[in-house]
Amino acid sequence: MDKRIDLIINNLKEVYDPEIPVNVYDLGLIYNVDIDENNQANILMTLTAPGCPVVDILVDDITQAAQSVDGVEKVDVELTFEPPWDKSMMSEEARLELGFF
Q: Write the pLDDT tens digit of every residue in 40-64.
A: 999 999 999 888 899 999 999 999 9
How would residue 3 be classed by pLDDT, with cut points 50, 70 and 90? very high
Going 90 to 70 to 81 to 61, the CA torsion angle's sign is positive
Given a contact cutoff of 8 angstroms between Cβ atoms, the answer to whether 25 and 58 are in contact is no
pTM recorded for the entire structure: 0.93
Q: Taking 80 as the threshold, does the pLDDT of residue 101 lie above it?
A: no
Q: Which one, of 76, 70, 69, 19, lies nearest residue 42 by Cα?
A: 76
Q: What are phi and psi of 93, to 5 degrees?
A: -60, -40
Domains of the chain by range and CATH?
3-78 (3.30.300.130)
- The pLDDT tens digits of the residues spanning 16-35 come to 988 889 999 999 999 999 99
Q: What is the pLDDT of residue 15?
A: 97
Going 54 to 17 to 88 to 10, the CA torsion angle's sign is positive
Q: What is the pLDDT of residue 100?
A: 83
